[in-house]
Amino acid sequence: MGKLDGKTAIVTGASRGIGQAIAELFAAEGANVVCAARTINDGDHMLEGSLANTVRLITEAGGSAHAVAANVSVEQDCRQLVDEAIAVFGQVDILVNNAALNYYVPIVDYDVNKWMRCFAVNVHAPFMLSKFVLPGMIERQSGAIINISSGAAIGPGRGPYDTEGRGGTMYGATKAALERFTQGLAQEVKDDNIAVTCFSPSQVVPTPGTVHHKLVSGMDDPKGEPPLIMAQAALLFASEDPVKVNGRVTYSQEILQEFGWISDGKGRGIDSQGSGYSLI
């Protein structure tokens, strides 16, 4: 028995990195996974990864997955994503808002259209998708909405500053907004048995994107946090009692340690009942 047997999950940004890891682990735990992103096929984007590849890995391992090409910054695409998930699998039990966009540019040089686009992907999309999945969750009195944040939400604190900024002001602002959105929505649905949560990596996660931005030295950077750790934390929030986790804004390794889900660093996790699971 998987932790998510019979559940349907939407995972945005599932073509690579953290989103791909979450999609694969959710499928391994029995969920029907609707994988959403803009990159449909390998070679469609400068970064490695695609929806086709994620779905192929899941189905070859015996899991259930469906790809939906979606630009989550657009309301109609968000509506169609939720509608298609319901049409294919009947309902949406879990929403993972993982898709994110960033440009490392100082504010004085930031293009206004890029700023607006980042807020649309990082903040407006989680709002729209949450709005569209919530009616079914409220009706069933069951559901989980999981938002992926970043340590950048904390910011550099008050001055004086002895280090230079890296052009991450916009990204940090969107993630701070996402964390506030999480707890506000969690309060709104506190009586509906729905968990709205948000968590950040405890360390930078090596992904095609973080490698591209030179945040890590490579996909095997020993200082990085494996994507599986993020996937395990998402699984915890998707499967634990909503009363215990609703409104939590935290970090991946902290929540895993708190609930007794311990990674052994070899692509496996041990939950508090001692059962094992592995990434596909």
CATH code where residue 183 lies = 3.40.50.720
Q: Which bin fits 143, alpha (ψ -120 to 50), beta or left (φ > 0)? A: left
> For residue 243, is it within any domain?
yes
The reported pLDDT for the residue numbered 129 is 98
Whether the CB-CB separation of 153 and 204 falls below 8 Å is answered with: no
The DSSP symbol for 115 reads H
Range in 52-61, 238-247, 266-275 the model is least confident about: 266-275
Calpha distance 28→32 (Å, rounded): 10
> For residue 87, is it within any domain?
yes
Does the pLDDT at position 264 exceed 60? no
Calpha distance 83→79 (Å, rounded): 6
> For residue 204, is it within any domain?
yes
Query: Of 78, 68, 70, which Cα lies nearest the Cα of 33?
Result: 68
> For residue 217, is it within any domain?
yes
Catalytically active residues, by annotation: 149, 171, 175
40-68 confidence digits (pLDDT tens) = 877 666 667 799 999 999 999 999 999 99
58-110 confidence digits (pLDDT tens) = 999 999 999 999 999 999 999 999 999 999 999 999 999 999 999 989 999 99
For 211, the domain range is 8-278
21-32 confidence digits (pLDDT tens) = 999 999 999 999
Query: Of 80, 2, 1, which Cα lies nearest the Cα of 34?
Result: 80
Question: Which residues fall within 8 angstroms of residue 70, CB to CB, at 6 or more apart?
Answer: 12, 36, 37, 38, 77, 78, 80, 81
Mean pLDDT within 185-203: 96
Reported pTM? 0.90
Domain count within the chain: 1
What pLDDT band is residue 268 in, cutting at 50, 70 and 90?
very low
